[in-house]
Structure 1
Amino acid sequence: MATDRLLRDVTFSNAAVTLSGSVTVPDHAVGSPGVVMVGGSGPSDRDNDTHFPPIRRHLVEAGIAVLSYDKRGVGGSSGDWRDATIDDLAGDAVAALDFLRAQPGVLPGTTGLFGHSEGGWIVLRAAARHDVPWVVANGCPGMTPAVQDRYALAAILRQITGATPDGVDAALAAYDRIVEAGRRDADLAEAARSFRSAPLPRVFDEVFDEFWAEMDERLWDFTKRKQDHDPTPDLLRLRCPLLAVFGGADELVPVASSVGLFATAACHPDRHPRSTLTVEVFPHANHRVQVGTGLAPGYLDTLSRWITRR
């Protein structure tokens, strides 16, 4: 497509970290608003797996410049996301925003942030501390990672053949022991011992074996730092409009609770008068606001229309 031919690779820096990404600026004479897209948890690249390209194409065709980038230690970016804090990752998003605003043909005052899932927490932190005209949180939990992950784990466990309510409760209690180990700054070996201090039904072995297989000391340290991150203080410090988008059938995020928490923050008496809240929930859509193999009907138009109206 024409928009793909306009995409170019770029690099920019945040302190000692060099970040690699891709930028696309619409090919027309007038200036364009812009958006920095920030991916979700884990080693997310500039495409957030396959999630971002169709969104990027639509936004560019709607006249919006787009920059997305590889997370620290992913693709062409230096550093390591497992060594980072939410503040570090928010600093990367601000560096990307500054870079995009400086590009020819981009209107800096109308260029904002889009974050998916964990990326929503990151862009909310960035927007709470820096001058950002608007922010989009896509599938972003309104609660802490510990609470959100427990919800997602419970959904997985209940779908396992042979799982009983008592067995699910026992598995969630084991998860709670991991969280408490993190809160007392236990090392990985102690956390593993806490988890295994009570027997679990064998039907859950595969789920938890995969969890421990992926866990090392650096990832455990990152998990401990992040698990109690609460987005509410950042929501209260916003000074710009916020669009919160959810899939109504999101299997990873408790959507109703998240909408309630976003709305509660929006109603707080100390909330800035410019920090309006728009919530869009797409029925039957998943965590990536997809229905089946494609994005939910109306999602792309809703996104571009809200951005251009800002």
Structure 2
Amino acid sequence: MVTDVTFSSADVMLAGSLAVPDRRAPVPGVVMVGGSGPSDRNNDAFFPPIRRRLGEAGLAVLSYDKRGVGESSGDWLEATIDDFALDAVAALDFLRAQPGVQAGTTGLFGHSEGGWVVLRAAAREEVPWVVTNGCPGMTPAAQDRYALATALQTIDGLTSGDADVTLAAYDRLVEAGRRGAGFAEATRIVRSSPIPAAVKDLFGEYWSEVDERRWEFTKRKQDHDPIPDALRLRCPHLATFGGADQLVPVAASISLFAAAACHPGRHPRATLTVEVFPHADHRVQVGGGTDLASGYLETLTRWITGLVRP
């Protein structure tokens, strides 16, 4: 049974959904953290099937609306990765305090941007395990550049020179953000860039979603590096990816997380397990984004239950 709950995090009140299996003994738990943008407790339709399977496996599950989304107060556009990590820790503390939940075996699951969030939270708090799904191993600026380059490859008749010009415009925006340029200057960069006609719609769609507040949010976030957090982990980490992810450079991300796992300063409990599901997308879905990849739920459940149960 899923119930609506609320809990506080600093100066915001977060709303979410909690499901605790009816068991005689306390059960492990998991907090699920959504991806970028205005993600709600269901992360669109991605979380419900995962939540159901984890519940069937005997885990308590809590997911919540990002600050300023759904029934949560606050404003995600005014937040930072640190703020989101504080929210994840608040959710973790709330779940651990629930009757019937075994606090010491309750961990974190983060999708995409949520992966950066749970890595930051796990690097700072005592967490028994952490799962990231589709989490880039590099900065948002590098990941977004990859996503743009991948999208450019789908445009018929686009030359390599056209792609280079478009990516150069993106690079100028990133550099403008790094030196603190305002939204007006960023808009002038976009309008003055010689973006080829073949990609004007694509780039225009990207920029049409950006206003002054989103530009400021992007500037704050664009150079967040998850690897220092990965180096500070003190618990096992499962990193899952869709092999056909068009938004995240999967091979490069795996390489970066693996290098962190091999660092001589890595905590001995901080093992790394990587699972890649061929032909699956950013949400490890296949069939045009309608079904989770075969074996994904089983793999996720087996890894978690293998850690939390003797």
> What TM-score, normalized by structure 1, do the two folds share?
0.97
The CA deviation at 1:302 is: 0.6
Give the aligned residue type for 2:120. Answer: R
Query: How far apart, in 1, do the equivalents of 2:4 and 2:303 lie?
Result: 27
Match of 2:28 in 1: 33
Task: State the shift of 1:213 in Å.
Answer: 1.7
Paired with 1:164 and 1:170, the residues of 2 have a C-alpha distance of: 10
Identity of aligned residues (%): 73
1:183-262 paired onto structure 2 within 5 Å: 183-262=178-257
Q: How does 1:77-88 map to 2 (within 5 A)?
A: 77-88=72-83
Local SS of the residue matching 2:254: helix
SS at match of 1:281: strand
Q: C-alpha offsets along residues 86-140 of structure 1, whole Å, 9 cap, x if unaligned?
A: 1000000000000000111110000000000000000000000011110001000
Aligned residue-pair number: 305
- Runs of 4+ with deviation above 4 angstroms: none
Contact 1:26 1:60 in 2 (8 A): yes
Deviations 1:125-178 (A, max 9, x none): 000001111000100000000000000001111112232111011100000011
Q: Which of the residues 282, 292, 302 maps onto 2:299?
A: 302
Unaligned 5+ segments in structure 2 are none
Deviation at 1:211, TM superposition (A): 2.0
Q: After superposition, what is the alpha-carbon deviation per residue over 1:18-44, rounded to whole angstroms, capped at 9, x for unaligned?
A: 000000011121211000000000000
Rounded to whole Å, the distance in 1 between the matches of 2:192 and 2:168 is 11
Q: What amino acid is the match of 2:25? A: V
- Identify the match of residue 145 of structure 2 among 143, 147, 150: 150
Please report the RMSD computed on the Cα atoms of aligned residues, expressed in angstroms. Answer: 0.8
Q: Is the 8 A contact 1:174 1:196 kept in 2?
A: no
Q: Secondary structure at the match of 1:280?
A: strand
Aligned pairs for 1:55-66 within 5 A: 55-66=50-61
In 1, Cα distance between the equivalents of 2:156 and 2:71? Answer: 41
C-alpha contact 1:34 1:64 (8 A) present in aligned 2: yes
Correspondence for 2:99:
104
Which of 65, 68, 74 aligns to 1:73? It is: 68
* Distance in 1 of aligned mates of 2:66 and 2:157: 39
Q: More deviation in 117-126 or 208-217?
A: 208-217
Task: Describe the superposition over 1:221-240 as per-residue Cα deviations: whole angstroms up to 9, x where unpaired.
Answer: 11001101000100000011
Give me the whole-angstrom Cα distance separating, in 2, the residues matched to 1:304 and 1:277.
16
Which residue is equivalent to 1:3?
none
